């Protein structure tokens, strides 16, 4: 359970979420951010709950999927580790567009998506849901409170979580190879 929790925090990367939007003087829109958090959490939990049918549909076993998922997570983590946070974007004017932006690409990262299916297939959707909810809420809080957090600290945290995601991805890939 702790590995799933840490894995989701590393793959969602709340620090990268906090740096996804420009720190301008606009008013905060908590409803839009909350809507994006709910959408992201719902999609990730649904993927975790449908993990076995997804693997059946892809006609692959869990070991093969974990190998691929580990590579995706390691590459995403390596990108954060080497390059740091992505350049910040302007905040969308419409509330629905902001909620959509918060959901994807800020919180629904490729690493979080593949980890949701992997954890859901191996440990069940309830264990995945706990990690997903914690990570996505942290990401939403980071995005909402982005103006009050020191930029240099958050940029360093992006790299640290990227390193954690890289290590986690290698562990998942090796575990996938072992179970083949």
What's the rounded Cα separation, in Å, for the pair 128 and 131? 5
- In the prediction, which pLDDT does 1 show? 80
What average pLDDT does the segment 73-89 reach? 96
Helix ranges (DSSP H) in the chain: 2-12, 14-18, 30-49, 51-58, 62-83, 95-101, 110-123, 125-144, 151-178
What's the rounded Cα separation, in Å, for the pair 103 and 41? 8
Domain boundaries, the chain: 2-19+52-178
What's the rounded Cα separation, in Å, for the pair 167 and 76? 11
pLDDT per residue as tens digits for the range 14-46:
999 999 999 877 778 899 999 999 999 999 999
pTM over 0.85? The answer is: yes
Local confidence band at 107 (pLDDT 50, 70, 90 cut-offs): very high
Local confidence band at 47 (pLDDT 50, 70, 90 cut-offs): very high
Task: Report DSSP letters for 103-126, one per residue.
Answer: IIIIIS-HHHHHHHHHHHHHH-HH
């Amino acid at each position: 359970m702790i590995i799933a929790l840490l894995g989701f925090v590393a793959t969602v990367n709340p620090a990268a979420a906090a740096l996804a939007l420009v720190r301008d003087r606009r008013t905060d829109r908590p409803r839009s951010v909350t809507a994006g958090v709910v959408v992201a959490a719902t999609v990730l939990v649904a993927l975790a709950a449908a993990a076995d049918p997804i693997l059946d549909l892809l006609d692959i076993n869990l070991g093969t999927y974990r190998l691929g998922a580990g590579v995706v997570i390691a590459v995403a983590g390596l990108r954060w580790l080497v390059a740091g946070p992505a350049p910040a974007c302007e905040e969308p004017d419409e509330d629905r567009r902001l909620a959509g932006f918060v959901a994807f690409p800020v919180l629904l990262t490729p690493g979080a998506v593949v980890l949701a299916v992997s954890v859901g297939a191996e440990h069940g959707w309830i264990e995945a849901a706990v990690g997903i909810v914690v990570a996505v809420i942290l990401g939403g809080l980071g995005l909402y409170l982005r103006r009050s957090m020191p930029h240099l600290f958050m940029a360093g945290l992006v790299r640290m979580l990227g390193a954690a995601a890289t290590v986690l991805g290698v562990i998942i890939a090796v575990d996938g190879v072992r179970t083949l």
